[in-house]
């Protein structure tokens, strides 16, 4: 983990400033394709909902019937990357779940309302199968996973079986004063870029509204939530605050907190910490 942190510091950080994020957002590359290694162990189907691709991967062996709706991270401006497919492939192997991955539109061209319209359509279809449906996501995708749980509770849809949050981004304002103290120790992320991307994503709405920043939502009456968070991550202070608020609201919450881990550390499978966390999530999905 320490060696990987050092290597990450050698990489350019596109979220250090609003200008650096804007340069990336001007020309979104396409989402990374499903890797051949994953296609060897899973059947893939792709359908379109509202003009957005939705990819579903079902294990060829050992499927349990559980459904996992996974929303990828990327600060709402970066597309799905090969690292996300690595995470998804490992979760599928560890859990036997069928994984559905909606390729939601990215900011600044697209925004929060469009994403939830797409995700609700996907979720309604999965819930109609009668199988257990989990919501999961990393970083911005973690914010979407939690926001979905709030939305579906409020509109009376069947509750998901659980929510899995990996390094979740749950407050786009980044207003927590503890964040600035973490930033020098974060080898990957910058506060200014996240604030700019969050404003684009809100698209003029209150950035503290629950679907944009679910940390500020009403948090009672949710399914079990598991949070997996590293300490060298500017999103850690809000993730810890979320866990406290979820517990205060009477929810079943588990926290795996690794002080030396960086943002989305589960995407580094060469580290024992990442492998242990993905096995732990797999057990949650099997349960």
Report pLDDT for 24: 82
Cβ–Cβ < 8 Å for 195, 173: yes
- Strands 225-232, 133-138: pairing kind: unpaired
pLDDT exceeds 90 at position 25: no
DSSP states along 117-140: HHHHHHHHHHHTTTS-EEEEEETH
Phi, psi of 231 (to 5 degrees): -80, -25
Q: Which domain holds residue 198?
A: 2-286
Whole-number Cα distances in Å, 37 to 33, 61, 156, 183, 275: 11, 14, 39, 36, 18
Report pLDDT for 27: 79
CATH number at residue 88: 3.40.50.1820
Mean of the per-residue pLDDT values for the chain? Answer: 96
Question: Could you count the other beta carbons within 10 Å of the beta carbon of residue 184?
Answer: 9
Q: What digits encode the pLDDT tens for the residues 60-81?
A: 999 999 999 999 999 999 999 9
Mean per-residue pLDDT for 203-208? Answer: 96
Cβ–Cβ < 8 Å for 107, 141: no
Q: Number of folded domains in the chain? A: 1
Question: 166 or 14: whose pLDDT is higher?
Answer: 166
Distance CA 182, CA 179 (A): 5
Report pLDDT for 166: 98
- Residues of the chain above pLDDT 70, percent: 100
Cβ–Cβ < 8 Å for 126, 97: no
Q: What digits encode the pLDDT tens for the residues 79-122?
A: 999 999 999 999 999 999 999 999 999 999 999 999 999 999 99
Report pLDDT for 76: 97
Report pLDDT for 277: 98
Q: Which of 30, 200, 195, 213 is nearest to 109 (CA)?
A: 200
Which active-site residues does the annotation give?
Answer: 139
Is the C-alpha dihedral spanning 172, 173, 178, 184 positive or negative?
Answer: positive
Question: 259 or 287: whose pLDDT is higher?
Answer: 259
The pTM score is 0.97
pLDDT exceeds 90 at position 231: yes
Report pLDDT for 185: 96
pLDDT exceeds 90 at position 129: yes
Cβ–Cβ < 8 Å for 11, 60: no
Q: Coil, strand, or helix at residue 226?
A: strand
Report pLDDT for 223: 98
Mean per-residue pLDDT for 124-134? Answer: 97
Is the C-alpha dihedral spanning 189, 226, 279, 140 positive or negative?
Answer: negative
Half-sphere exposure of residue 88: CA atoms within 13 angstroms, side-chain side: 35
Report pLDDT for 23: 87
In 181-276, beta strands by DSSP E: 225-232, 253-262
198-229 in b/e form (b: 16+ CB < 10 A) is: bbbbbeeeebeebbbbbbbbebeebbbbbbbb
Report pLDDT for 204: 96
Mean per-residue pLDDT for 43-47? Answer: 98
pLDDT exceeds 90 at position 13: no
């Amino acid at each position: 983990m320490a060696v990987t942190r050092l290597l990450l510091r050698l990489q350019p950080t596109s979220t250090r400033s609003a200008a650096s994020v804007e340069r990336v957002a001007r020309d979104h590359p396409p989402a990374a394709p499903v890797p051949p290694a994953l296609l060897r162990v899973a059947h893939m189907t792709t359908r379109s909902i509202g003009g957005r691709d939705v990819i579903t991967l079902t294990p060829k062996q050992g499927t349990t019937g559980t459904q996992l709706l996974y929303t990828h991270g990327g600060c709402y401006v970066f597309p799905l990357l090969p690292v996300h497919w690595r995470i998804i492939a490992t979760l599928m192997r560890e859990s036997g779940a069928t994984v559905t991955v909606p390729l939601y539109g990215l900011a600044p061209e697209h925004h929060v309302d469009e994403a939830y319209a797409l995700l609700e359509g996907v979720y309604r279809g999965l819930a109609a199968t009668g199988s257990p449906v989990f919501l999961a996501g990393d970083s911005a995708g973690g914010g979407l996973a939690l926001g979905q749980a709030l939305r579906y509770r409020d509109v009376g849809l069947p509750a998901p079986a659980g929510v899995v949050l990996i390094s979740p981004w749950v407050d786009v304002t980044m207003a927590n004063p503890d964040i600035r103290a973490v930033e020098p120790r974060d080898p990957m992320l910058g506060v200014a870029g996240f604030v700019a991307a969050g404003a684009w994503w809100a698209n003029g709405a209150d950035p503290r509204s629950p679907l944009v920043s679910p940390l500020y939502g009403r948090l009672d009456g949710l399914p079990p939530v598991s949070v997996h968070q590293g300490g060298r991550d500017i999103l850690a202070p809000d993730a810890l605050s979320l866990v406290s608020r979820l517990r205060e609201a009477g929810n079943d919450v588990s926290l795996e907190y690794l002080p030396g881990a960086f943002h989305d550390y589960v995407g580094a499978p060469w580290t024992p910490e990442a492998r242990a966390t993905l096995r732990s999530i797999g057990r949650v999905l099997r349960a």
